Amino acid sequence: MKVAVLPLSRNTDLSPKARDLAATLRKRWIVEFDDAQAIGRRYRRQDEIGTPFCVTVDFDTLQDNAVTVRDRDTMTQERVSVDQVERYLLDRLPGC
């Protein structure tokens, strides 16, 4: 698993946007969509199984069309435009 897409909640506006992004990223990587439990637990679960990047779709996404990308190894989080997420991950997942 290289990427997990996590909507902040099961909100009817967030989930479809997150599912669409997951479908786009699945064309290139193995992607998990996870909307069960609290976001902190989902981050921990992805850390435990070794997923390098989590992409969070939140309420700000609905306004700015950007997501938060979290790097497992550095724990850094960056806001990235939805249309740039694939390029962002390509630059950080060489050879994948």
| Mean model confidence pLDDT for the chain | 96
pLDDT in tens, 52-96: 999 999 999 999 999 999 999 999 999 999 999 999 999 999 876
Mean pLDDT of 2-19: 97
Q: Which CATH architecture has domain 3-92?
A: 3-Layer(aba) Sandwich (3.40)
DSSP string, the chain: --EEEEESS--TTHHHHHHHHHHHHHTTS-EEE--SS-HHHHHHHHHHHT-SEEEEE-HHHHHH-EEEEEETTT--EEEEEGGGHHHHHHHHSTT-
Read off the pTM: 0.94
